Structure 1
Amino acid sequence: MKIALPFGISLGLVGVMTMLSLGLISALPADTQLPIHFTLTGTPTSTAPAMIALLLLPACALFVTAMFALGPRMGGRIKASPGIYLIVWLVTLLILALAHGFIIRHALFTLAAMKATA
């Protein structure tokens, strides 16, 4: 099974997630708390320090990318249905990226609120 395209997409997505996170980490004060868990309606239910909140999902996406990239070498069942495997891989990363988008959104709102009060 060829994994070059999904691997490249995965690494690109992880790179974008990481760059967005690093940019916001440098812009936010160190004691900023950001939401890391949301209800299905998008309401935040728990928070974490900005660095953890912004880097948690890019790290998870990198781990998922590594696991899916190594998967075909470990399991024979994966080779039987490579199309489904690639779809599950990319959908998993899309879900992580969407969740990261919620955190980025809240970080941008927090940054805008800080600048408005300053």
Structure 2
Amino acid sequence: MLRRLRVPRLSTVSCYRYLALPSTSQQADANDLNKTIADGVAHVTATNIYTNERSIVQLKQPKKPMSRKFRREYAIPDQAKTGLLDVLISCDRSPKQLQHEADQLTEKLNQRR
């Protein structure tokens, strides 16, 4: 057999109450809504419907943030490249040892970021 469930009625405390707001559907004059654009910034005159206070709001496009995925690569001068090459060629250490030290330095730099 089917059973009917009773749904309790909402009390007056939990009923929705609507706040009487001034109507925003009134159309304003063309002079009331001034909008100018200068230097990439839009100046909009806004009116508070509660207090009839007017204010100018400045709107502008956000700057494009730099991508944080890639770190900034700096250009190495050619003189530094040739100097490093000469040092590596004339060094007495084995290439494996040099690579190991370079990996350790890279790991230290990555931990600083």
Q: Please identify the structure whose Cα radius of gyration is greater.
A: 2
Q: Indicate the structure with greater strand content.
A: 2
Q: Indicate the structure with greater helix content.
A: 1
**Larger relative contact order, structure 1 or 2 (CA cutoff 8 Å, min sep 6):** 1
What TM-score range do you get, normalising by the shorter chain?
under 0.3
Alignment TM-score, normalising by the size of structure 2: 0.21
